[in-house]
Amino acid sequence: MRLHWKRCAAGAAVMASVLALPLAALAQQAGAYPSRPIRMVMPFPPGGPTDILGRLLAQRLTESMGQNVLVDNRAGGGGAIGGQVAAKSPPDGYTLFLGGITTLATGPFLHKNLGFDPLKDFQTVTQTTLQPLMLMTHPTLPVKSVKEFVALARKRPGEINYATSGPAGSGHLAGELFNFQLQLKLVHVPYKGAPPALQDLSSGQVQSMFGTMLAAVPIVRNGRVRALAVTGPKRSIALPEVPTFAESGFPQYDASSWNGILVPTGTPRPIIDRLHVELVKILKDPKVLERLINDGPVAIGNTPEEFTAFIRSEQAKWSKVIKAADIKIE
- What digits encode the pLDDT tens for the residues 113-160? 899 999 999 999 999 999 889 999 999 999 999 999 999 999 999 999
Q: Output the pLDDT for position 330.
A: 63
- CATH, domain 36-130+256-325, list 3.40.190.150, 1.10.275.10, 1.25.40.20, 3.40.50.10680: 3.40.190.150
Residue 12 has pLDDT above 70, yes or no: no
Beta-carbon count within 10 A of 303 CB: 14
- What digits encode the pLDDT tens for the residues 209-230? 999 887 788 999 999 999 999 9
- What digits encode the pLDDT tens for the residues 37-82? 999 999 988 988 889 899 999 999 999 999 999 999 999 887 899 9
Assess whether the region 36-130+256-325 and the region 132-230 belong to the same CATH fold.
yes
- The span from the CA of 230 to the CA of 236, in Å, is 8
Q: What's 111's DSSP letter? A: B
- The span from the CA of 126 to the CA of 241, in Å, is 31
Residue 7 has pLDDT above 70, yes or no: no
Q: Please, which pLDDT band fits residue 89 given cuts at 50, 70 and 90? A: very high
- The span from the CA of 198 to the CA of 138, in Å, is 10
Domain boundaries, the chain: 36-130+256-325, 132-230
Q: Output the pLDDT for position 185.
A: 95
**Under CATH, what is the fold of the domain 132-230?**
D-Maltodextrin-Binding Protein; domain 2 (3.40.190)
Q: Please, which pLDDT band fits residue 31 given cuts at 50, 70 and 90? A: low
Beta bridge partner(s), residue 70: 39
Residues 6+ apart with CB under 8 A from 164: 171, 172, 175, 188, 189, 190, 191, 197, 209, 210, 211
Q: Output the pLDDT for position 90.
A: 98
Where do runs of H (alpha helix) occur along 261-303?
269-283, 286-295
Mean pLDDT of all residues belonging to the chain: 89
Q: Output the pLDDT for position 210.
A: 95
Does the reported pTM lie above 0.85? no
Q: Output the pLDDT for position 30.
A: 54
> DSSP letters along 18-86, please?
HHHHHHHHHHHHHHH--SS-EEEEESS-TTSHHHHHHHHHHHHHHHHHSS-EEEEE---GGGHHHHHHH
Q: What angle do CA 23, 122, 73 make, to 5 degrees?
A: 120
- The span from the CA of 307 to the CA of 304, in Å, is 5
- The span from the CA of 257 to the CA of 293, in Å, is 15
Residues 6+ apart with CB under 8 A from 320: none
Q: Output the pLDDT for position 299.
A: 93
Q: Output the pLDDT for position 24.
A: 45
Q: What average pLDDT does range 2-17 have in this prediction?
A: 46
**What is residue 145's three-state secondary structure?**
coil
Residue 22 has pLDDT above 80, yes or no: no
Residue 17 has pLDDT above 60, yes or no: no
- What digits encode the pLDDT tens for the residues 282-318? 999 999 998 887 777 889 999 999 999 999 999 998 9
H or E, element range at 210: strand 208-212
